[in-house]
C-alpha cells in the first residue's frame, strides 16, 4: 500500500469547492459578455457621434472581459473535476491493495485500511472535538431547520458516501463522479441519522420504489418515513436549478416561438438543484440519472449531446415535490396527488439506483433574465447556447 498521506475525501471536497467556484466565475463571465454585447448593440443604433463610439468601445471591452472570465471559470471547473477523479483512482488503488493484504495475511490482528483515510465516516456538523454542547445555529435566511440540514451552504465534516440500493454497501460514487459537498447525496447519511432510519432501510425502500409500481411497492408507514426525509431537502430562493430540454423545446426556445401550446418566455416541468446535477457531466449520465427512458423519448444513452435549461429559483412556492405514483395505491401510500406514467416513481427523487437526484415540479411561470440554455457534449465539455432577455427573448451566445 502507498505510504503517501493522501486523503481522497479531502481531495473530493476540495475538488467540489473548486468546481463550484469555477461554475460561479463562468456564469459571471457569461453575464458580463452578454452585457457587453447589449452595449455594442445599443451603440450600433446610436448615430449621435462620440457617445456611440465610447459605448461601443466599452461594450467590446466588457464583452472581452466576460470571455476571459468564462474561460477561466471553465478551467477552474475542469481542474476541480479532475481532482475528484484523482481521489477516486487513489482510493481504488489503496482499497485493492488493502484487500490483497488481508487475503494473504488473514491472521493479521489489526484491521487493515488504506493509509489515505479512504474510510469516509466523520462526525456530524457541530459534533467535533471543540463541540461545547451548544445548539447548532440557525441557517441564515430564516426557517426552523438547523444549519446542518441537507443542502445547507455551510461546510462540515466529511460524510460517509451513500450506498447503492441493494448493492451490499459499496459507495454509490463511481469513477469520475464528484457529488458536491452540499448535494443531497453527500449529506444524506446525516439526514437519515436525524430521522432514525438506517441506510439499509432507506436503500431497501429506494430500490423497491425504483421498480415498476413505484410507491405502491412500499407500505404506507415506509412511504411516510420516506416523505418526511424528502421534505427536509430544501429548495430556497436564489438556488440554481436546471432541467433537460427535449430537442423540440430547444428549437422552440431558440426560435422564440409563441403559440397556443408553447411560449418562449415561460417554462414548466421537473427541475433539479444544480448542487445535485453538477455531477451529471455527460449526456449518458443525464440519461441514467434523470430517467429519460420514458415511452417515446427522444433521448438515448449514446447521444452525443444534451441541452439543459439553467434557471434560478425566484419563488419557491412555484415548485412542488411531485409526490404520487403510477397507480392509485401508490398515490395513496405516500399521500400524494400526481398520477403519472412510468418511469415516474412518485417519491420526489428521480428513478435511478446510481444517482440520488431530488426533483421538484415547477408550475408554469416566466423565465428570468439571465436564464441560460447550455449544451453538454459526450466529452464532458459545456457550451453556452443562448441567454434569456425579458425584452428581446432568447439571444444566441456569440462564438469567440
**Does 31 map to a domain?**
yes
- Asked if residues 398 and 37 have their Cβ atoms less than 8 Å apart, the reply is yes
Q: How many CA atoms lie within 13 A of 243 on its CB side?
A: 19
Identify whether residues 244 and 101 lie together within a single domain: no
| CB atoms inside a 10 Å sphere around CB 18 | 20
Establish if 54 belongs to a structural domain: yes
Q: For 157-166, 239-248, 340-349, which range has the lowest pLDDT when averaged over its residues?
A: 157-166
Residue 80, pLDDT > 60, answer yes
Domain extent for 276: 240-396
Of 105, 125, 151, the one marking the end of a domain is 105
Residue of higher predicted confidence among 355 and 58: 355
The reply to whether 198 falls in a domain is no
Q: DSSP 3-state assignment of 387? A: strand
Tens digit of each residue's pLDDT (9 = 90 or more) over 167-225 = 333 333 344 466 788 999 999 999 999 999 999 999 999 999 999 999 999 999 999 99
Q: The C-alpha cell of 176 is what?
A: 469520475
Position with higher pLDDT, 320 vs 121: 320
Output the average pLDDT for the chain.
77
Q: Which residue has the higher pLDDT, 182 or 113?
A: 182
The SS3 call for residue 135 is: coil
pLDDT at residue number 399: 77
Tell how many helices (H) and how many strands (E) occur in the chain: 9, 10
Report the 10 Å Cβ neighbour count for 385. Answer: 19
Question: Domain for residue 278, yes or no?
Answer: yes
pTM: 0.60
Phi and psi angles of residue 50, each rounded to the nearest 5 degrees, phi first? -60, -40
Asked if residue 92 belongs to a domain, the reply is yes
- Tell me whether residue 15 is in a domain: yes
Kindly state the average pLDDT of the residues 2-20. 58
Where would I find the beta strands (DSSP E) of the chain? Answer: 240-245, 266-273, 305-312, 319-320, 324-325, 338-339, 360-366, 372-377, 382-389, 393-396
Q: Could you tell me if 11 and 83 are in contact, meaning their C-beta atoms sit under 8 angstroms apart?
A: yes
> Taking Cα atoms as reference points, which of 330, 365, 371 lies closest to residue 351?
330
C-alpha cell at 283: 449526456
HEC string of 199-243 equals: HHHHHHHHHHHCCCCHHHHCCHHHHHHHHHHHHCCCCCCCCEEEE
> Is 175 domain-assigned?
no
For residue 392, pLDDT beyond 80 = yes
In angstroms, the CA 169 to CA 156 distance is 23
Summarize the confidence of residues 259-288 as an average pLDDT. 97
Q: How many domains does the chain have?
A: 2
Residue 324, SS3? strand
Q: Using the predicted structure, report yes or no on whether residue 102 has a pLDDT greater than 60.
A: no
* Beta carbons of 324 and 334 less than 8 angstroms apart: yes
Give yes or no for residue 249 having a pLDDT over 80: yes
Kindly state whether residue 206 falls inside one of the protein's structural domains.
no
User: Given 88, 105, 122, which residue is the final one in a domain?
Assistant: 105
Give the number of other Cβ atoms within 10 Å of residue 386's Cβ: 22
Q: What is the mean pLDDT of residues 312-335?
A: 98
Q: Which helix (H) or strand (E) holds 58?
A: helix 50-104
Stretch 320-338: mean pLDDT, rounded?
98
Strands 372-377 and 240-245: unpaired
pLDDT level of residue 59 (50, 70, 90 thresholds): low
Instruction: Answer with the one of 90, 105, 120 that is the final residue of a domain.
Output: 105
Q: Beginning with the edge strand found earlier in the chain, give each strand of the sheet holding 382-389 in spatial order.
A: 319-320, 360-366, 266-273, 240-245, 305-312, 372-377, 382-389, 393-396
What pLDDT sits at residue 96? 55
Residue 286 · residue 382 · CB < 8 Å: no
Q: CA 45 to CA 28: how far, in whole Å?
A: 26
Predicted local confidence at residue 180, as pLDDT: 81
59 Cβ partners below 8 Å, 6+ apart?
36, 37, 38, 39, 40, 41, 42, 43
β-bridge mates for residue 234, sequence order: none
Least confident residue range of 53-67, 199-213, 270-284, 379-393: 53-67
Least confident of 79-88, 315-324, 345-354, 364-373: 79-88
Amino acid at each position: 500500500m502507498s505510504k503517501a498521506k493522501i486523503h481522497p475525501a479531502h481531495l473530493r471536497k476540495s475538488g467540489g469547492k473548486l468546481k463550484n467556484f469555477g461554475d460561479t466565475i463562468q456564469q459571471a463571465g457569461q453575464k458580463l459578455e452578454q452585457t457587453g454585447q447589449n452595449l455594442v448593440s445599443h451603440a450600433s443604433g446610436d448615430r449621435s457621434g462620440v457617445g456611440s463610439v465610447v459605448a461601443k468601445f466599452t461594450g467590446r471591452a466588457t464583452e472581452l472581459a466576460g470571455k476571459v472570465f468564462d474561460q477561466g471559470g471553465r478551467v477552474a471547473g475542469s481542474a476541480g473535476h479532475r481532482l475528484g477523479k484523482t481521489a477516486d483512482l487513489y482510493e481504488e488503488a489503496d482499497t485493492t491493495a488493502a484487500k490483497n493484504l488481508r487475503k494473504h495475511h488473514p491472521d493479521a490482528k489489526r484491521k487493515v485500511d488504506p493509509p489515505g483515510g479512504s474510510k469516509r465516516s466523520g462526525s456530524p456538523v457541530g459534533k467535533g472535538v471543540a463541540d461545547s454542547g451548544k445548539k447548532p445555529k440557525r441557517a441564515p435566511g430564516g426557517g426552523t431547520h438547523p444549519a446542518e440540514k441537507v443542502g445547507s451552504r455551510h461546510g462540515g465534516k466529511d460524510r460517509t458516501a451513500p450506498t447503492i440500493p441493494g448493492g451490499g454497501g459499496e459507495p454509490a460514487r463511481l469513477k469520475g463522479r464528484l457529488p458536491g459537498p452540499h448535494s443531497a447525496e453527500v449529506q444524506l447519511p446525516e439526514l437519515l441519522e436525524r430521522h432514525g432510519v438506517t441506510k439499509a432501510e432507506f436503500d431497501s425502500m429506494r430500490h423497491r420504489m425504483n421498480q415498476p409500481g413505484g410507491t405502491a411497492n412500499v407500505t404506507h408507514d415506509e412511504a411516510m418515513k420516506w416523505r418526511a426525509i424528502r421534505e427536509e431537502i430544501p429548495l430556497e430562493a436564489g438556488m440554481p436549478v436546471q432541467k433537460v430540454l427535449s430537442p423540440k423545446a430547444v428549437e422552440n426556445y431558440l426560435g422564440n416561438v409563441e403559440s397556443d401550446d408553447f411560449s418562449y418566455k415561460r417554462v414548466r416541468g421537473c427541475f433539479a438543484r444544480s448542487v445535485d446535477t453538477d455531477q451529471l457531466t455527460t449526456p449518458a449520465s443525464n440519461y441514467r440519472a434523470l430517467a429519460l427512458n420514458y415511452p417515446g423519448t427522444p433521448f438515448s444513452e449514446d447521444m452525443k449531446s444534451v441541452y439543459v435549461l439553467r434557471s434560478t429559483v425566484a419563488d419557491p412556492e412555484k415548485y412542488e415535490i411531485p409526490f404520487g405514483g403510477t397507480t392509485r395505491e401508490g398515490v395513496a401510500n405516500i399521500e400524494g396527488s400526481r398520477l403519472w406514467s412510468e418511469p415516474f416513481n412518485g417519491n420526489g427523487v428521480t428513478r435511478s439506483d446510481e444517482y440520488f437526484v431530488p426533483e421538484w415540479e415547477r408550475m408554469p411561470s416566466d423565465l428570468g433574465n439571465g436564464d441560460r440554455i447550455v449544451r453538454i457534449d459526450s466529452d464532458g465539455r459545456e457550451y453556452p447556447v443562448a441567454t434569456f432577455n425579458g425584452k428581446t427573448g432568447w439571444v444566441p451566445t456569440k462564438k469567440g
